[in-house]
Structure 1
Amino acid sequence: MLSLAALYRYPLKSAAAEVLSQSFVGAQGLIGDRRWMLVDVASGRFLTQRALPAIGRISALWQVDGSLRLQAPGLAELLVTVPGSEAVRRTVTVWRDSLEVPDAGDEAAQWLQQVIGQPCRLVQVPEALARQVDQQYAQPADRVGFADGFPLLLISQASLGDLSTRVGRPLEMLRFRPNLVVTGCEPYAEDQWRRIRIGGLEFELVKGCSRCILTTLDPHTGERSADREPLTTLKTYREREGEVYFGQNVLPRGCGELRLGQAVEILD
């Protein structure tokens, strides 16, 4: 039987995952997922582990009031409240999208600079300022916070198992930073799904997820694989038109609660 085997949230883009047993799903994905982001001071461009692996050492825990609890080795915990209406607005860039969002203030910026080793700012995206999802794959009302392009990412446990066998060693699911992990299907079965239901919620699978150098980072240590795995192996059988795909980008079609163990039904 197909079922939901794991749930992950990433309150701060590119920081460590929160492992969940249940979560509310809204129009923009899991509540609290990638609503905060680090940006370069000068350019406002988003910062990630692709260039700064130290971001992975940050534990960012979403709080029920929307605030962010930051933890990192050697530093005192810091609670960052949601910026108010008086907060400075900062123009930031996520890939091709530019938007003006509130800055979380100097204390958070200084705390984070100690972790990543360079000046940065922490910004937060209110729901009303979320970005439009690419309309080639989505409806006009679909929005996303600071995730790369889509509110949710789904991978099957069988796909990871097959990839691990091909690479020749066990691989951590968190290298691929999914929100939803499904068990009980054949490897890469998710490539063929178009609509699914988990519990009482429906989801639309709209596009394969193209993968980058981030997958070569150990999610626990931040160390990069000397052999560039698993990207090297993925390129041998999951590459098309110059992009390497693993997992499926997902749009929620409704709001409600997800819990581990819920049945997954293929609708299309």
Structure 2
Amino acid sequence: MRVQSLFIYPVKSLAGIEVSSFELDEFGPAGDRRWMLVGDQGQFITQRQLPLLANVTTHIGPQGVEIGVPGQGDFVLKPGNGRMAVKVWRDTVDALTGPEPADAAISRYLGQSLRFVYMPDESVRRVDPLRVPENRRVGFADGFPLLITNQASLDELNSRLANAVDMRRFRPNVVISGAEAWSEDGWQSITVGETRFAVAKPCSRCVMTTVDPDTGLKDPDTEPLRTLSRYRKTGDGVIFGQNVVHQGSGRLSVGDAVDISQQES
């Protein structure tokens, strides 16, 4: 088994970036989902509410994170001095405000008031202690530092669909090839190179999987979520991929060898 592809998402729910390698820090992949969009009340905003966010590109340039807003131009995201409390799911996090020109551009594009916020190093959002007993932190990802998916499982899903979808629908950080379809259901830990990842929980999927990452439009037949729900529904929801927590630092690269430890049956 090998690492087939790697992705980072500098801004939660904006387009991701496929990379050849990334470093791990305390939060997960370095720079992953440290930025987020919020509404006027500080509540997090994603493609669940605004699927056209998929059309806002991200890039890591010499000045840091850059975004491209359709019809508005390119903007560098730099944290400012303003602070605000923001909500991401059940967590309240102290965040820094972003640049006003980027806020204005994204608000014009989507027709409502939005602003960028950044999670600084001193803000601590804990990973769900019911799933991960040790005190670990996460950025603005939904709940865990990394998501790992299995290419064979996507291939099997696509064999059931009239129109195949690509892995970007599921927004993974690490895609593994060479495993059997749905074998991830029994994964207990994953070792990539010298770095071990503990499996925390299966990833329950939502309407975001129905958004075409190339157009920002939702599938009218709610695929692939509809098909997944017919045979991948569990007590944790409709499942695709595994949420994991890294057990150390290091660099992951495409082509790295992967070793899997299975749960005892």
The TM-score bracket by the shorter chain reads over 0.9
The 3-state SS of whatever aligns with 1:232 is helix
Query: Which residue in 2 is equivalent to 1:24?
Result: 23
Query: Which residue in 2 is equivalent to 1:175?
Result: 169
Query: Which residue in 2 is equivalent to 1:47?
Result: 45
1:104–1:122: 8 Å Cα contact kept in structure 2?
yes
Partners of 2:206 and 2:26 in 1: CA distance: 26
1:21–1:260: 8 Å Cα contact kept in structure 2?
yes
Partners of 2:118 and 2:60 in 1: CA distance: 12
1:54–1:115: 8 Å Cα contact kept in structure 2?
no
Partners of 1:121 and 1:19 in 2: CA distance: 25
Matches within 5 A, 1:106-125: 106-125=100-119
Query: Which residue in 2 is equivalent to 1:216?
Result: 210
Greater CA deviation, 145-154 or 19-28? 19-28
Provide the TM-score with structure 2 as the length reference: 0.95
Query: Which residue in 1 is equivalent to 2:3?
Result: 4
Percent identity reads 40
1:32–1:62: 8 Å Cα contact kept in structure 2?
no
What amino acid sits opposite 1:39 in the alignment?
A: V
How many residues are aligned here? 262
Partners of 2:124 and 2:255 in 1: CA distance: 30
- Rate the CA distance shift 1:242–1:5 in 2: closer, same or farther, 3 A: closer
Query: Which residue, 248, 253, 265 being the options, matches 2:247?
Result: 253
2:79–2:97: 8 Å Cα contact kept in structure 1?
no
| Displacement over 3 Å in runs of 4+ | 62-65
Partners of 1:193 and 1:36 in 2: CA distance: 30
The 3-state SS of whatever aligns with 2:153 is helix
Following superposition, the deviation at residue 126 of structure 1 comes to 1.1
Following superposition, the deviation at residue 27 of structure 1 comes to 2.3
Query: Which residue in 1 is equivalent to 2:71?
Result: 74
Partners of 2:70 and 2:225 in 1: CA distance: 29
Greater CA deviation, 182-191 or 166-175? 166-175
Following superposition, the deviation at residue 242 of structure 1 comes to 7.1
Greater CA deviation, 203-212 or 165-174? 165-174
* Backbone CA RMSD of aligned residues: 1.4
Partners of 2:35 and 2:77 in 1: CA distance: 10
Structure 1 residue runs of 5 or longer lacking an equivalent are none
- Rate the CA distance shift 1:99–1:174 in 2: closer, same or farther, 3 A: same
Following superposition, the deviation at residue 211 of structure 1 comes to 0.5
2:69–2:105: 8 Å Cα contact kept in structure 1?
no
Following superposition, the deviation at residue 61 of structure 1 comes to 2.0
Structure 2 residue runs of 5 or longer lacking an equivalent are none
Following superposition, the deviation at residue 240 of structure 1 comes to 1.8
What amino acid sits opposite 1:46 in the alignment?
A: F
- Rate the CA distance shift 1:150–1:107 in 2: closer, same or farther, 3 A: same
What amino acid sits opposite 2:169 in the alignment?
A: R
Matches within 5 A, 1:216-255: 216-241=210-235, 243-255=237-249
